[in-house]
Structure 1
């Protein structure tokens, strides 16, 4: 009987050590949470501070990956408003101080010797229609510059939906009871067949046209608020091996035509990335950028903003 109790005690102590280690050293058991929204689709829940694998994520009162802000900038502060998807958000694997918005802020402050505040309104898999809904809800925060950051896939994004939140393991709406539970969930869970998602993902009609219309409406909001609207497009890694697919070329051409017609300051990173010696070093996967890729993007964005605002 003593052996049974001893074994049970060892198991319990081992489990507690494992649970504590996962929380203390890896930050598991506390993850960034999402909230569902019928218009925007979903947002990162406001007022979060999470550290995972040593990477800090701060979400402010407006669901931005930015420290707490005032509705309007201070008199001596130049405010820039970035809106986008996981590229500009950085996700959990990018530290708060290493996101594209943070890198741009530091770079411009250094070059202009001025206080800069860069807002980062973004979430994983947001497309132009999610971003438009966010702008309609929250406004421009008196920012003289609004920069939309999208990737090629976003041109084909479906309409906003809250259906994933709390059902897809990548969009949790509550914390796990145990850190161990989070590991088991990642290893063994499979995303369920969410009712209604097939219809959303199979959206009919001209998706590229729908998203270009959303981008045009975002520009209109910027113009109404006396803000300069700019855009950045990052490519998928396979678009440089050897080139974009035919349907992507068509979508890119439509975007470029719209940019030219509307005289929008725009950076397409496809030719910029293609000139690099080792494209693999710019990516952490097929779509998300590595620290080197984020640094390259931030440098070009800083140059774009400085040149445009000095005109």
Structure 2
């Protein structure tokens, strides 16, 4: 006969675990939707608390706490997960938030994990430029040839969910524990999403600088410049150094291709490699921690003040 006390104890334990997990943000993940234009983007008007970080998006799916404010000077901040910050970065610690607070301008954070310049350009073609006075692209060397593939990721990978879990314990098992264990018996079950793929490649890459590749650079660079030129506003680039490049003391061949394109097209490009980035500012091979976001904000202030 089942001992009622033991059953009750198990139920109480499970309830406690469920409540604790919800306090850490389980069942409150940032949700995404697919886009035929720019692959995917966070859903608009979200207000989440996840792993101690506050995460918000406005009605344009920008990672901003506020709507675009035409009474302020608007700057378009464009990029991938470096600018987006990921779910580990609190809204108040984002470089775009800090920039806005320090300057009085408003930097719109138009970004998503593993976005390239072509994703950003496609977004602006669909949504417009919000009366911006300048555009700044925060990119890394791998963005030189990282083109949109439109391979479905939303609802396919744990980091791009399209709906909330109803039970926190199941989310813990299904999103984190089972995939980690699965790779030991079936490697096909453990696939990296686009942003993880980039981060994993960068983390394990051996930096051996070569001459720039001979095939064309991502079309998004030219598209963004064309949009800025049509609006008669500046287009600027901040080339964030990958950690391996920082340790090697120079950009890899893809980074050099971006620098070459910027020089040939008369686009001002600030090099993070020469602008004070240090290994202590990184979470992994590419993403910035809170100190890195602060540094990026200061660099963007200097870049846009000139």
Instruction: Output the TM-score relative to the length of structure 1.
Output: 0.83
Q: 1:221 to 1:135 in 2, by over 3 A?
A: same
* CA displacement at 1:223 relative to structure 2: 1.6
1:144 to 133, 136, 143: 133
Q: 1:231 to 1:208 in 2, by over 3 A?
A: farther
Match of 2:206 in 1: none
Counterpart mapping for 1:231-242 below 5 A: 231-242=237-248
Match of 2:7 in 1: 8
Structure 2 residues not aligned, in runs of 5+ = 183-187, 199-212
Equivalents in 2 of 1:138, 1:8: separation in Å? 55
Which piece of structure 1 moves more, 288-297 or 117-126? 288-297
Match of 1:228 in 2: 234
Match of 1:301 in 2: 300
Match of 2:96 in 1: 101
Which SS does the other structure have where 2:96 is aligned?
helix
1:216 to 206, 222, 225: 222
* CA displacement at 1:261 relative to structure 2: 2.6
2:167 to 152, 161, 178: 178
Native 8 Å contact 1:28 1:182 kept in 2? yes
Structure 1 residues not aligned, in runs of 5+ = 110-115
Equivalents in 2 of 1:267, 1:158: separation in Å? 22
Is the aligned partner of 1:32 residue 2:26?
no
* CA displacement at 1:298 relative to structure 2: 1.3
Match of 1:112 in 2: none
Which SS does the other structure have where 1:209 is aligned?
coil
Is the aligned partner of 1:188 residue 2:153?
no
Equivalents in 1 of 2:130, 2:117: separation in Å? 19
Q: 1:285 to 1:233 in 2, by over 3 A?
A: same
Q: 1:65 to 1:207 in 2, by over 3 A?
A: farther
Is the aligned partner of 1:22 residue 2:21?
yes
Native 8 Å contact 1:64 1:121 kept in 2? yes
Equivalents in 1 of 2:214, 2:288: separation in Å? 25
Equivalents in 2 of 1:19, 1:127: separation in Å? 38
Give CA-to-partner distance per residue, 1:271-298, whole Å, 9 cap, x none. Answer: 234xx6xx32111111111222222221
Match of 2:255 in 1: 252
Match of 1:287 in 2: 286
Native 8 Å contact 2:57 2:65 kept in 1? yes
Q: How many aligned positions are there?
A: 279
Native 8 Å contact 1:85 1:125 kept in 2? yes
Instruction: Output the TM-score relative to the length of structure 2.
Output: 0.84
Native 8 Å contact 2:75 2:133 kept in 1? yes
Equivalents in 2 of 1:84, 1:121: separation in Å? 7
* CA displacement at 1:118 relative to structure 2: 1.4
Native 8 Å contact 1:145 1:227 kept in 2? yes
Native 8 Å contact 1:48 1:59 kept in 2? yes
* CA displacement at 1:208 relative to structure 2: 6.4
CA RMSD of aligned residues (A): 2.2
* CA displacement at 1:193 relative to structure 2: 8.1
